[in-house]
């Protein structure tokens, strides 16, 4: 249904030819909201099964330019999830301790266990995005044998692809979502942050400074996606100029991923079921009743 946004290595991404404002899967904003609401109900149920099943984990990874709507999308689509078995990791500039280790070290600390969901708000891809655009490799300590930036960049693409494949082979999926906002729409959102007092806190001069590098970032995103998109760890490039549509598409991606994982509640053995009658009788006696019917949850 949303395969037009999927990049799994079978086709090349050219960001200059990808729409940021199309809304082809919904009739209008209300239609998108209704579809997303139905998706969220199913996501909630599947996450409960995933946590109980404890066979597979998943990382939902979000990358985007500033003001694309990462935080709002994560909140809108994934607020239904139970705190049990779910955590969000927001990767800012690495600390001195993190810089003293290999660049995937801090990522490894946040990999989910079986049955868990990790939400990556930015990720290890910062190490081939801002690291490339701002030439951070020049100011970071490296072994003297590492002098060729272009080769180091290619090594990082290779390392990332291998790392994600390794996780897949060890029961953890990585689903990568790029929220593709246009430069004009970003400008409008920045202006909104400046003009609306309740949004002033969201804007800083650093936001505009990064915007100056727009073209370099687009090339970096394009190369990173083309270099690391695989069948088992795909990228989704989601049009982000309309937040309501972007959030709906993200809900579809997350739902489809969980459905494909097919989590199930563990089966209770006959031997264990046979013990329930004893416990039931004791609990009914504690309550002073002879029968019990659980109330159905309201949807």
- pLDDT band for position 298 (50/70/90)? low
CB-facing half-sphere around the CA of 81: CA atoms within 13 A: 26
Q: What pLDDT band is residue 207 in, cutting at 50, 70 and 90?
A: confident
pLDDT category, 293, cuts 50, 70, 90? confident
pLDDT > 70 fraction of the chain, expressed in percent and rounded: 98
pLDDT of residue 50: 96
Residue predicted with more confidence, 76 or 201: 76
Report yes or no on whether pTM surpasses 0.85.
Answer: yes
Specify the pLDDT at position 84.
83
pLDDT band at 296 (very low <50, low <70, confident <90, very high): low
- For 222-231, how does the pLDDT look when each residue is reduced to its tens digit (9 = 90+)? 999 999 999 9
Record: fold of 3-271: Rossmann fold (3.40.50)
pLDDT of amino acid 79: 83
The pLDDT of residue 233:
97
pLDDT classification of 297: cutoffs 50, 70, 90: low
Specify the range with the lowest mean pLDDT, choosing from 83-97, 98-112, 164-178, 246-260: 83-97
pLDDT of residue 272: 86
Burial class (CB within 10 angstroms; exposed 0-12, middle 13-18, buried 19+) of 215: exposed
Structure tokens at 279: 């416990």
Give the mean pLDDT of the chain: 93
Could you tell me the pLDDT band of residue 291, with boundaries at 50, 70 and 90?
confident
Residues 6+ apart with CB under 8 A from 194: 200, 203
pLDDT per residue over 21-65, tens digit each?
999 999 999 999 999 999 999 999 999 999 999 999 999 999 999
pLDDT of residue 1: 59
Ordered DSSP codes for the chain: --GGGEESSSS---GGGS-SS--TT-SSHHHHHHHHHHHHHHHHHHHHHHHHH-S-EEEEEEEE-TTS-HHHHHHHHHTTS-STTEEEEE--SPPHHHHTS-TTHHHHTTPPPTT-EEEEES-GGGGGTHHHHTTGGGTS---TT---HHHHHHHHHHHHHHHHHHHHHTTEEEEEEEEE--HHHHHHHHHHHHHSGGGGGG--HHHHHHHTTHHHHHHHHHHHHHHH--SSS-EEEEE-SSHHHHHHHHHHHHHHHHHHH---PPPPPHHHHHHHHHHHHHHHHHHT-S---PPPPP-
Alpha-carbon gap, residue 138 to 23, rounded angstroms: 42
pLDDT at residue number 242 = 98
């Amino acid at each position: 249904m949303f395969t037009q946004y999927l990049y799994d290595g079978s086709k090349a991404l050219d960001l200059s030819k990808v729409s940021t404002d199309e809304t082809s899967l919904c009739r209008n904003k209300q239609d998108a909201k209704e579809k997303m609401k139905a998706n969220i109900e199913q996501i909630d149920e599947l996450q409960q099964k995933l946590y109980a099943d404890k066979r597979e984990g998943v990382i939902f990874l979000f990358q985007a330019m500033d003001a694309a709507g990462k935080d709002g999308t994560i909140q809108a689509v994934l607020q239904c999830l139970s705190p049990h078995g779910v955590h969000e990791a927001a990767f800012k500039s690495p600390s001195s301790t993190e810089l003293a280790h290999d660049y995937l070290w801090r990522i490894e600390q946040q990999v989910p266990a079986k049955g868990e969901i990790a939400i990556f708000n930015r990720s290890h891809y910062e190490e081939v995005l801002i690291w490339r655009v701002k030439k951070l490799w020049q100011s970071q300590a490296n072994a003297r044998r590492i002098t060729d930036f272009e080769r180091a960049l290619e090594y990082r693409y290779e390392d990332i692809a291998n790392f994600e494949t390794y996780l897949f082979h060890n029961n953890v999926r990585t689903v990568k979502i790029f929220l593709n906002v246009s430069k004009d729409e970003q400008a409008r959102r920045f202006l909104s942050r400046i003009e609306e007092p309740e949004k002033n806190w969201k804007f800083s001069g650093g936001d505009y400074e990064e915007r100056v590098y727009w073209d370099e970032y687009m090339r970096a995103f394009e190369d990173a996606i083309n270099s690391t998109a695989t069948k088992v760890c795909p990228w989704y490039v989601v049009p982000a100029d309309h937040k309501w549509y972007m959030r709906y598409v993200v809900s579809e991606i997350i739902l489809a991923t969980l459905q494909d994982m097919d989590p199930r509640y563990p089966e209770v053995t006959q031997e264990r079921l046979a013990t329930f009658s004893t416990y039931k009788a004791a609990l009914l006696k504690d309550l002073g009743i002879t029968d019990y019917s659980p109330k159905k949850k309201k949807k």
